[in-house]
Each structure stands twice: as structure tokens, then as C-alpha cells.
Structure 1
Amino acid sequence: MTNTQHTIRSLSTLVDMRSNEVDRLQSEMAAKESVRERYKKTLDKLTDLYQSSGPSGRLPMALAMNCGDYKQGVMAMADSQRLNLHMHEADMAVSQRALTAAYVKREVLGQVLERHQDAAATAQRAQERKRHDELATQLWYRGHK
């Protein structure tokens, strides 16, 4: 195996590894997007719950306190969900940067691999032309003897 073939094979392996990394990170991002959507739906439901419970001021004292406690509890859960959502979105931003970096690395290695493959193909075509020229020269000499 020539040095060029070895280099191409090594670069091809690296490109495959980077592609696998990109695929893995894309899967992780898809899973995180799903979690983000669940957070948003839960937050919407919690907001709906405390808004739809109605005004508590018109109720008798015990019911008004119970309704107020309920609203405060649901609002606290909504705040907790909102905080979790923000933290999750920050984590997603970090993951997105890692995905972008992995994608760029894969693309750069792919371009290097392509250049090496093109150079090897050009060298091989030149070698074949040289061999054909040598054969043609030999035939020409034989024909003129």
C-alpha cells in the first residue's frame, strides 16, 4: 500500500468517525428538542390551570384561601418549569455549538480527503498516460525498424 493510499484510507476513517459524531450529536439535539417541547407544553398547561381557576375573591373565606393556595402552588410549579426550561435551552445552546463544531470538522476533513483523492487520481491518470506513451513509442520504433 502506498503512502498516498494509506493517507486516503486514514482520512476516510477520520471522516467516518466525524460523521458518526455528527449523527450522534444530531440525535442528542433531537432528543433535547423533544424535551424542550414537553417543558413548553407543561408550562402552557400549568398557566392554563391557574388562569382558568377563576377569581377567588368572590368565594367564601375557606374556599378563597384554598383557591389562592392552589393558584400559588400551580404558579410555583410553573416558575419551576420555566426555570428548568431556561436551563435546558442553555444546555441545548451548548450542544448546538458542539454540533456545529463537529460538523465543521467533518466538512474540513472531507475537503482534505477530497483533495487527496483528486491528487491521487490525477497522479494515476498521469502514470497511465506515461505508460501508454511508452507503449506507443515502443510500437513506433518497432514499426520503423
Structure 2
Amino acid sequence: MTHTIRNLSTLVELRSNEVEKLQSEVAAKESLRERHQKTLDKLTHLYESSGASGRLPMALALNCGDYKQGVMAMAAHQKVNLSMHEADMAVSQRALTAAYVKREVLGQVLEKHQHAAVTAQRSQERKQHDELATQLWYRGHK
């Protein structure tokens, strides 16, 4: 029984380590997602705030239009990167959830085994006390 409890304790500890590792990974990915989002917001602001180019002289209008197209292309690329990163985050979050569930299940199994061991030990102690009491009673009546 103690061997099983020791093995289960080791498994719970390993699962806890896995959960902590995955939590760190998800936190790092969330930080990266926020950076992607901030970059996308800045790029969007850049091309929206560059103003209308139609009232500018021809050379400046072309230059301004090229600038807007370049920034919009970078923003589109950033959107793709962000959506791919969010998909990767979803996979990591599912892995974290699965690891957490495994740890909780093993923890519950460990608790049941520990409770059963304590119950068995108490039963054994009661049995020993009953045997001693019976022996004392028997000796007292001889």
C-alpha cells in the first residue's frame, strides 16, 4: 500500500511540474500575443493617421500612397502572425487543461489510497487494542 502511495505521489508531483511548465508557456505566449496586438494596433494607427493623399502634389501623393500600402501590408502580415499565434495558444491551453485534469484525477486517486491506508492502520490499531483488552480480561478472570 505504501509503495502505491509513494508511486502515486511521484506521479502527482510530475504532473504538477508539467502543469507549472505549461502555465509558464501559456503566460509567455500571452505576453507575445499582447506584443503582436500592440504592433498591429500601432500599424493600423500609422496608416489611418497618415491622412488623405489626394490633395497632395503628385510626387508626395504617390509617396504617401506607397507608404500606406507598405504599412497596410505589414499590418496584414501582423494579423496573420497574430491569428497563427492565437491558434498555437489555443493548442497550448488545451494541453494545459488536459495536464491539469490528469493531475487532479491522480491527486484524487492518491487521496483515496491515503485515506484507505489510514483507515486500514486505524483498524489494525483497534484490533490490537481489542486483543490486548481481551487478554487482560481473560487473565483477570483466571
1:123 maps to which of 111, 120, 123: 120
Query: 1:16-65 CA distances to partner (integer Å, 9 max, x unpaired)?
Result: 00000000000000000000000000000000000110000000000000
Partner secondary structure for residue 55 of structure 1: coil
The percent identity for this pair of structures is 82
Query: RMSD across aligned C-alpha pairs, in angstroms?
Result: 0.6
Shift of 1:122: 0.6
Shift of 1:142: 1.9
Partner secondary structure for residue 138 of structure 2: helix
Number of the residue aligned with 2:36 = 39
Find the aligned partners of 2:73 and 2:133 in 1 and give their Cα distance. Answer: 88
Find the aligned partners of 1:19 and 1:79 in 2 and give their Cα distance. Answer: 39
When the two structures are aligned, how many residues end up with a matched partner?
A: 142
Read off the aligned partner of 1:69 and give its amino acid letter: D
Number of the residue aligned with 2:67 = 70
Shift of 1:116: 0.6
The two structures have a TM-score, normalised by structure 1, of 0.96
Shift of 1:141: 1.4
Whether 2:93 is the aligned partner of 1:114: answer no
Partner secondary structure for residue 54 of structure 1: coil
2:141 maps to which of 125, 139, 144: 144
| Unaligned residue ranges in structure 1 (runs of 5+) | none
Partner secondary structure for residue 58 of structure 1: coil
1:29 maps to which of 26, 30, 33: 26
| Unaligned residue ranges in structure 2 (runs of 5+) | none
Moved over 2 A (4+): none
Shift of 1:139: 1.2
Find the aligned partners of 1:137 and 1:28 in 2 and give their Cα distance. Answer: 62
Read off the aligned partner of 2:122 and give its amino acid letter: R
Find the aligned partners of 1:95 and 1:87 in 2 and give their Cα distance. Answer: 13
1:91 maps to which of 88, 91, 95: 88
